[in-house]
Amino acid sequence: MHSETHEKARTSERMDGRSPAALDRRGFIGWLAAAGVAAAAVPQRLWAWVQERRRITRETVAAAEALHGLEFTDAERELMLESLNERLALYEQLRSVAVPNSVPPAVQFDPVLPGTELPTERTPFRMGRQPRVSLPAKLDEAAFLPVTQLSELVRTRQLSAVELTRMYVDRLHRHGAALECVITLTEERALERARRADEEIAVGRYRGPLHGIPWGTKDLMATRGYPTTWGTAPYKDQRFDYDASVVRRLDDAGAVLVAKLTSGELAQGDLWFGGRTRNPWKPEDGSGGSSAGPASATAAGLVGFSLGTETMGSILGPSARCGATGLRPTFGRVSRHGVMALSWSMDKVGAICRSVEDCAVVLNAIHGPDGLDPTVRDVPFNWNPDVRPSDLRVGYLESAFQDDDADRGRDLEVLDVLRSLGAKLIPLELPQGYPIEAIRLFVLDPEEGAAFDDLTRSNRDEFMLRQGPNDRPDRFRKARLIPGVEYLMANRVRTMLMGSMRSVMEGVDVLVAPARARNLSAITNLTGHPAVAVPSGFRDDGTPASMSFVGELYREDAVLALAKAYQDATAHHLRHPPRFV
């Protein structure tokens, strides 16, 4: 009987979800009784054997203290042991539940602090006055036109949606491989949608400025009938039987999806399972990440516009490097339903375009609640292209314009242009005295670790390309060693940072800063503020420089209005990478 009992204890992993090594003596006897073993048959040496099998010891706790910067006494460690061992079984119970990436936690981030006033009045959307546009002699010359002009060609039927779509699909075929920016062409879907657009426009059912305009999406967004790879080998065959809300809304606007564009794997960098996405201005360099494909393809004239995502710089960063105009909306402005989750409290979906007003057109189509992403607020977006810089209170990040580097001259020229347009510039600084890197790490890493918990525990992360320090697999593993208390403390300090940022922005409508300004991306992503990146000139090697315009929460209209005024006065966005013209 003793050997039989011993065998049952050795081979049985759990009973009612609890590991025998996680039980006290009485619980262990009850566990055996449930297994059909009489209590009298439990010898002392078997109980001793179970005690030896306990996975957490005082030495384990001491080692964990070192990882977390804590120190307990031996008595305190001893007091913890029984409960800590019992938790191992609870972890097993929790991990036995299959949780898709699409399921958010039952906590919700809101960047709007009590007392913040948001826009309430709604006005009809209208574009600014456009120059008269006619069809170029060579269709390829239309590839770099902004949406505001492409839409006029389609609306007036100088150019059919099918012709425009075929032109972009041809350019994707010709240049996509050189830029390594395309994962999947959606050619069949695109041509069917384009034909439908032409039929509707022919009978007067014009849906608006995106009707018939080809676009591309970062391959984090679910698209029925096509793979959604998230840029990494473990998911390269993944398919969803529904469309992301932003894909559906652009379908409703009549836009034509022509390609699923590259994302750095699991939204990191510009490296994906098919290569490294290239900068069209300097193809030997990467495009930046992780909205690598959308920025590269838009700048190279392979799509009319694109959608990207940003958690910590992934729209503004590649837009700056590739010379595109990128909009990161306020957190909670655009639904993320059907979009890969990395950080539930920081992920945002935005547009990458060739002009500021294009970003306004796209945002108008995709913003607002869908009943599927509970973080999205019903706040109006009122675009007024006629707002003058003199009508806005404009701040500038004074210390960032004093940095003595190669881009300083171009940065100061931006301020000169804004002054010439009537803007009265107010010197400001970002909130000081906060441990920004600590907040970022202790908020973002646990959330992304939870988002890809199964990938880590299944060891499928070994199939990812990037395996170095602080690459996704390494960060997912280290995230498991961040205490829940530190996650919550980081979020509490984040609330304080949000209050300080609100104070900074109280005196201005827009804050202007070089894209490289220290902590600008980290702070404004943590606080949820909107921003747009706009080309601000070109360096000696031909690569573009960029300027960032940051706005108050849900005031993308003001940010875009100032950025448009600057863009119209400089025309840097009208230059295109020569290898792809």
Residue in 160, 218, 345, 355 annotated catalytic? 218
**Residue type for position 38:** A
CA trace torsion 23, 29, 35, 37 (10° rounding): 150
- 151 token code pair: 């839409």
Residue in 151, 160, 290, 319 annotated catalytic? 290
- 507 token code pair: 């005196």
Alpha carbon distance 376, 103 (integer Å): 16
Please calculate the CA angle 429-434-436 and round it to the nearest 5 degrees: 95
Alpha carbon distance 165, 173 (integer Å): 12
Residues ≥6 apart with Cβ < 8 Å to 131: 149
Quickly tell me which residue has 């189509």 as its tokens.
365
Query: CA nearest 154: which of 94, 118, 194?
Result: 194
What three-state secondary structure class fits 555? coil
Active site residue 290: yes
Active site residue 314: yes
- 282 token code pair: 């300097």
Residue in 160, 296, 314, 548 annotated catalytic? 314
What three-state secondary structure class fits 328? strand
Cβ–Cβ under 8 Å, residues 358 and 326 = no
Quickly tell me which residue has 């979906």 as its tokens.
349
For residue 104, what is the DSSP state?
Answer: P
Active site residue 348: no
Alpha carbon distance 371, 67 (integer Å): 42
Cite the active site residues: 218, 290, 314
